[in-house]
């Protein structure tokens, strides 16, 4: 798929509902389409869609080893509820790294995210042609430019973002209508949940992601950083050809 074809497809999908974007992506890329869920409310909605419409989408989660107990419980609950498997992808530290990672989130969270999330994700995505994410435009300024499908220059495959247009109200309505299991921590003041050491409650009126890496400038773990948006730059004529590019 050329950059022009991808941009044309993104424009055609802009007004389509998430279920349709997901189904069309599955039709196009299966079995080399995967969804890396972090078990946020958006991710749970997408897992529901995959199960509800029997879509051929591989499912996995990045298990950093320091998720909340409630998140591990939700993982099991979703698998039981929908009768599917959500694979665990875990970091494989070198001996030198294993020494460094103990409480690395305190001294160098960017490095910690790189070792626990970005590196394992990059390795895992190398087996796929496209990946689904649960990002919504209104979540952060970095995500405001996301398109329904775009070239992910950071990881070298197509990125499918079915929920980009959804508002918080759209998400609430879907979860309620379909009785989707979600993390009980959301009801206890955690609208956005990541690793336990880097997630705090947010107060009423705070940004929903204010509890992530509180007190630091860091707002993203590096999976969805701005330079990963690249519909316009998707694979450019000067880029080396990607053997897995559809």
Active site residues: 221
> What is the rounded distance in angstroms from the CA atom of residue 241 to the CA atom of residue 246?
11
* Terminal C-alpha separation, the chain: 5
Smallest separation (angstroms) from ligand SF4 to the CB of 64: 5
Smallest separation (angstroms) from ligand SF4 to the CB of 82: 26
> What is the rounded distance in angstroms from the CA atom of residue 118 to the CA atom of residue 223?
6
Cβ distance to ligand SF4 smaller for residue 57 or 113 = 113
Window contacting ligand SF4 (CB under 6 A); options: 47-55, 192-200, 224-232, 234-242: 192-200
User: What x/- string results for residues 117 through 136 when contact with ligand SF4 is judged by CB under 6 A?
Assistant: x-------------------
Cis peptide, bond prior to residue 157, ω within 30 of zero: no
66 near ligand SF4, rule: CB under 6 A: yes
**The 149-152 sheet, strands edge to edge:** 87-89, 58-62, 33-36, 130-132, 157-160, 149-152
Smallest separation (angstroms) from ligand SF4 to the CB of 209: 12
Window contacting ligand SF4 (CB under 6 A); options: 73-81, 105-113, 126-134, 149-157: 105-113
Work out the widest C-alpha separation in the chain, in whole angstroms.
Answer: 49
The two three-digit tokens of residue 31, written as one number: 């079995």
Selected binder of ligand SF4 within 18, 40, 194, 211 (CB under 6 A): 194
Report yes or no: 46 and 22 within 8 Å, Cβ to Cβ.
Answer: yes
Residues interacting with ligand SF4, by CB under 6 A?
A: 64, 66, 105, 109, 112-113, 116-117, 194-195, 197-198, 221
């Amino acid at each position: 798929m050329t950059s022009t074809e991808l941009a044309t497809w993104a424009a055609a999908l802009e007004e389509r509902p998430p279920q349709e974007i997901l189904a069309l992506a599955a039709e196009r890329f299966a079995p080399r389409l995967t969804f890396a869920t972090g078990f946020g409310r958006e991710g749970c909605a997408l897992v529901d869609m995959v199960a509800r419409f029997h879509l051929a989408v591989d499912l996995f989660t990045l298990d950093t080893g320091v998720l909340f107990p409630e998140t591990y419980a939700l993982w099991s609950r979703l698998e039981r509820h929908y009768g599917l498997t959500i694979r665990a992808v875990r970091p494989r530290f070198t001996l030198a790294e294993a020494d460094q990672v103990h409480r690395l989130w305190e001294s160098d969270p960017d490095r910690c995210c790189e070792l626990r999330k970005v590196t394992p994700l990059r390795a895992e995505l190398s087996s796929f042609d496209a990946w689904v994410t649960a990002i919504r435009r209104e979540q952060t300024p970095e995500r405001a430019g996301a398109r329904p499908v775009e070239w992910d220059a950071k990881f070298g495959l197509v990125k499918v973002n079915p929920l980009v247009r959804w508002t918080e109200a759209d998400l609430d309505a879907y979860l309620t209508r379909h009785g989707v299991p979600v993390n009980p921590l959301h009801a206890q003041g955690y609208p956005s949940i990541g690793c336990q050491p880097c997630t705090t409650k947010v107060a009423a009126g705070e940004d929903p992601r204010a509890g992530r890496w509180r007190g630091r400038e860091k707002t993203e773990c590096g999976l969805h950083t701005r330079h990963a948006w690249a519909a316009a730059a998707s694979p450019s004529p000067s880029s080396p050809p990607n053997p897995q590019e559809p």
